[in-house]
Amino acid sequence: MLPELLALLATSRHDDIQTACLVASARIGSRLEGGARGPVLRAIRKKLSAPSLEVAETAVLSLGILGDPEGLPTLIAFLGGSRDAAALAGRGDVPMRMRAFAAYGLGLMAQAATDDADGIARR
């Protein structure tokens, strides 16, 4: 199922389909072991700069749903509204809603963390 979702995500031009594919792919990917998440992580990152703000926001949230530690620096950058995050988003700055979705994504990652070995400290 995952390859079909990623293919649809890459080819669809409909926001609703893209957002659904992002969330579904992230949920499925969250159950995979580390390296197997790579294709999902790459597909999500591509959508961070989607012209549609709805799709870009969902991509930020999907990083948290995926729970891959490699997405952690990106979520932190988006939360802080850094220049790097604005560049990843393809926008002059990071919109407040994207920052809010980054905070939510970070919370999801923290909740899912079983220990600090993944680099995520529970607080």
Q: What is the pLDDT of residue 114?
A: 63
Q: What is the pLDDT of residue 62?
A: 98
Query: How is residue 7 written in tokens?
Result: 């293919």
Asked if 74 contacts 118 with a C-beta cutoff of 8 angstroms, the reply is no
Between CA 46 and CA 55 the distance in angstroms is 11
CA angle 59, 112, 21 (to 5 degrees): 30
Q: What is the pLDDT of residue 122?
A: 43
The residue type found at 54 is E
Q: Is the pTM of this model over 0.85?
A: yes
Across the range 87-93, mean pLDDT stands at 95
In terms of phi and psi (left: phi > 0; alpha: psi -120 to 50; beta: otherwise), the region of 90 is: left
Q: Is the pLDDT of residue 117 over 60?
A: no
Between CA 103 and CA 97 the distance in angstroms is 10
Kindly report, residue by residue over 2-54, the tens digit of the pLDDT: 999 999 999 999 999 999 999 999 999 999 987 899 999 999 999 999 999 99
Q: Where are the beta strands (DSSP E) in the chain?
A: none
Q: Is the pLDDT of residue 121 over 90?
A: no
Q: What is the pLDDT of residue 98?
A: 97
Residue 83, Cβ neighbours under 10 Å: how many?
12
Kindly report, residue by residue over 57-76, the tens digit of the pLDDT: 999 999 999 999 999 999 99
Place of tokens 């700055």: 93
Asked if 78 contacts 90 with a C-beta cutoff of 8 angstroms, the reply is no
Asked if 79 contacts 64 with a C-beta cutoff of 8 angstroms, the reply is no
